[in-house]
């Protein structure tokens, strides 16, 4: 099975049932699938399995108190709710389901479920009679109506000796269900071309001009596009990031190399994301040997590099074209000017500096298209990339010809 859980932030909620013995195995399988897991335990859960066990398996301290000053100083409950890409409560007891259906927030886990915008999945585990009880079924209907995902329960022999529905779904099956959350198919069959990272413009054999781009945003978009079912080609400048497993990856160094690679691949492209921070200038003449440090001052003559996104946007039969505007001031106005002047379909504007944008794992952006815009709050770049892919899928649909 292809894993779409790579780098996903998963909160595993553990409530007080005997099926909690399966939670360490579920945690291990999530991590093996590439997820980053934080565990939240209710007080009754700790009567069945220790926080130390869950900490050892997840590699992170367990969260178990709503009012914990030490935890609030590190990752407070609201930040934890924002951090999550998905929440899975396994096992979920009848009591937990009842409290959640009523909208209670009387412990950390229910509070997180109310505070997050991430999808929430519940794997019920209880005695078969409790599961069949009309009150439990009423709570189940309420949760389904509120778009909670329900995984299971399975049927079989229970710890109490009864036989019937109520067993927690097996960890392997839960992984398969969670995987489907991120396998959206929004861009199924589309060909997506993405540029990422910086370019390097040589001065001499050992020196170059570059910028602080890490490539993280472009690579996150590549991952999100793959999850959406697209065929992705990633053209990347020099970065220190692992290549997406299911993308066609092309490494380049200079702006001219990147443009040549883009023009070679653009013909069969449906959507083009110009995410790379391309150097605006290059040396007019590159020194063939390392420059000796002799003069107190030197002058380097620079010429403009090609504008890759504008070149693509002005091609006949061009793809739906998305640009990025990384600015330090007047961000929205500069982005709007680029949208119009370069004839782009959409532009993603973000302010760089102050731990935002370049070389950060977090970003906040405003997307502009036609006469509209949409802002996204500060969030991990992986999560932001999925939001941008969803928006791109919707806006580009009417222009892409299959």
CATH number of the domain bearing residue 329 = 3.40.50.10300
- Identify the band that residue 163 occupies on the pLDDT scale cut at 50, 70 and 90: confident
Residue 51: exposed, middle, or buried by beta-carbon count in 10 A (0-12, 13-18, 19+)? middle
Asked if residue 219 and residue 118 are part of one domain, the reply reads no
Do 142 and 103 form a contact (C-beta atoms < 8 A)?
Answer: no
What is the percent of the chain with per-residue pLDDT over 90, rounded to a whole number?
A: 72
Of residues 118 and 156, the one with the higher pLDDT is 118
Asked if residue 344 and residue 222 are part of one domain, the reply reads yes
Helices (H), 12-62: 23-32, 51-58
What is the percent of the chain with per-residue pLDDT over 70, rounded to a whole number?
A: 94
Asked if residue 122 and residue 203 are part of one domain, the reply reads no
Residue 46: exposed, middle, or buried by beta-carbon count in 10 A (0-12, 13-18, 19+)? middle
- Other Cβ atoms within 10 Å of 6 Cβ, number: 18
Burial string for 253-292 (b: 16+ CB within 10 Å, else e) reads: bbbbbbbebbeebbeebbbbbbbbbbbeebbeeeeeeeee
Amino acid 78: pLDDT: 80
- Other Cβ atoms within 10 Å of 79 Cβ, number: 12
Asked if residue 174 and residue 245 are part of one domain, the reply reads no
Amino acid 69: pLDDT: 57
Question: Which of 117, 160, 249, 402 is an active site residue?
Answer: 160
Asked if residue 122 and residue 18 are part of one domain, the reply reads yes
- Number of domains the chain contains: 2
Asked if residue 207 and residue 79 are part of one domain, the reply reads no
Q: What is the tens place of the pLDDT at every residue in 336-368?
A: 999 999 999 999 998 876 666 576 788 889 999
Task: Kindly report which listed range (152-166, 176-190, 327-341, 373-387) carries the lowest average pLDDT score.
Answer: 152-166
In a domain, 336, yes or no: yes
Domain span at residue 130?
Answer: 9-182
pTM to 2 decimal places? 0.82
Amino acid 402: pLDDT: 34
Task: Kindly report which listed range (75-79, 220-224, 259-263) carries the lowest average pLDDT score.
Answer: 75-79
Asked if residue 208 and residue 158 are part of one domain, the reply reads no
In a domain, 260, yes or no: yes
Active site residue 249: no
In a domain, 3, yes or no: no
What are the φ and ψ backbone dihedral angles of 379, each rounded to 5 degrees? -160, 165
Asked if residue 315 and residue 245 are part of one domain, the reply reads yes
Amino acid 326: pLDDT: 86
Amino acid 6: pLDDT: 85
CATH code (residue 61): 3.40.50.1950
- Identify the band that residue 401 occupies on the pLDDT scale cut at 50, 70 and 90: very low
In a domain, 274, yes or no: yes
Interatomic CA distance for residues 308 and 316, integer angstroms: 15
For the chain, give the mean pLDDT.
90
Q: What is the mean pLDDT of residues 29-39?
A: 95
Amino acid 223: pLDDT: 92
SS3 at position 68: coil
**Is the pLDDT reported for residue 400 higher than 50?**
no
- Identify the band that residue 388 occupies on the pLDDT scale cut at 50, 70 and 90: very high
In a domain, 95, yes or no: yes
In a domain, 264, yes or no: yes
- Identify the band that residue 235 occupies on the pLDDT scale cut at 50, 70 and 90: very high
In a domain, 4, yes or no: no
Read off the DSSP letter of residue 168.
P
User: Sign of torsion, CA 49 50 55 56?
Assistant: negative
CA torsion 86-92-94-100 (nearest 10°) is -20
End of a domain among 151, 182, 213? 182
User: Considering only CA atoms, which of 191, 197, 190, 151 is closest in space to residue 171?
Assistant: 151
Amino acid 356: pLDDT: 60
Asked if residue 303 and residue 327 are part of one domain, the reply reads yes
**Is the pLDDT reported for residue 373 higher than 50?**
yes
Amino acid 390: pLDDT: 93
- Ordered DSSP codes for 193-223: EEEESB--EESSSS-EE-----SHHHHHHHH
In a domain, 47, yes or no: yes
Asked if residue 244 and residue 143 are part of one domain, the reply reads no
End of a domain among 150, 182, 214? 182
End of a domain among 132, 155, 182? 182
- Identify the band that residue 329 occupies on the pLDDT scale cut at 50, 70 and 90: confident
Structure tokens at 379: 């969030």
Q: What is the mean pLDDT of residues 316-333?
A: 91
Asked if residue 122 and residue 253 are part of one domain, the reply reads no
Asked if residue 241 and residue 94 are part of one domain, the reply reads no
What are the φ and ψ backbone dihedral angles of 346, each rounded to 5 degrees? -155, 150
């Amino acid at each position: 099975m292809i894993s779409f859980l790579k780098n996903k932030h998963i909160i595993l909620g553990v409530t007080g049932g005997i099926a909690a013995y399966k939670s360490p195995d579920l945690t291990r399988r999530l991590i093996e699938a590439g997820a980053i897991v934080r565990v939240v335990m209710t007080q009754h859960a700790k009567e069945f399995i220790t926080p130390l066990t869950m900490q050892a398996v997840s590699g992170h301290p367990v969260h178990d108190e709503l009012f914990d000053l030490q935890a609030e100083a590190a990752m407070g409950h609201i930040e934890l709710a924002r951090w999550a890409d998905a929440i899975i409560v396994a096992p979920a007891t009848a009591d937990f389901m009842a409290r959640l259906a009523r909208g209670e927030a009387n412990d950390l886990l229910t509070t997180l479920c109310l505070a997050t915008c991430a999808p929430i999945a519940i794997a019920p585990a209880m005695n078969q009679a409790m599961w069949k009880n009309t009150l439990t079924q009423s709570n189940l209907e309420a949760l389904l109506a509120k778009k909670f995902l329900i995984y299971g329960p399975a049927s079989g022999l229970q710890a109490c000796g009864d036989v019937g529905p109520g067993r927690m779904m097996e960890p392997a099956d839960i992984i398969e269900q969670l995987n489907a959350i991120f396998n959206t198919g929004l861009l199924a069959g589309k060909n997506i071309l993405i540029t990422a990272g910086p370019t390097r413009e040589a001065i001499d054999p050992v020196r170059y001009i570059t910028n602080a781009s890490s490539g993280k945003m472009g690579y996150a978009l590549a991952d999100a596009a793959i999850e959406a079912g697209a065929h992705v080609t990633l053209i990347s400048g020099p970065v220190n990031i692992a290549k997406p497993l299911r993308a066609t990856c092309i490494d380049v160094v200079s702006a001219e190399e990147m443009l040549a690679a883009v023009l070679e691949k653009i013909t069969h492209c449906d959507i083009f994301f110009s995410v790379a921070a391309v150097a605006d200038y290059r040396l007019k003449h590159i020194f063939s040997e390392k420059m000796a440090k002799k003069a107190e001052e030197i002058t380097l003559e620079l010429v403009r590099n090609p504008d890759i996104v504008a070149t693509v946007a002005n091609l006949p039969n061009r793809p739906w074209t998305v640009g990025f505007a990384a600015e330090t001031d007047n961000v929205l106005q500069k982005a709007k000017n680029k949208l119009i002047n370069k004839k782009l379909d959409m532009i993603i504007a973000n302010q760089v500096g102050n731990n935002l944008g370049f070389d950060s794992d977090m970003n906040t952006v405003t997307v502009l298209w036609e006469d509209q815009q949409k802002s996204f709050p500060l969030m991990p770049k992986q999560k932001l990339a999925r939001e941008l892919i969803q928006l791109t899928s919707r806006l580009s649909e009417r222009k892409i010809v299959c």
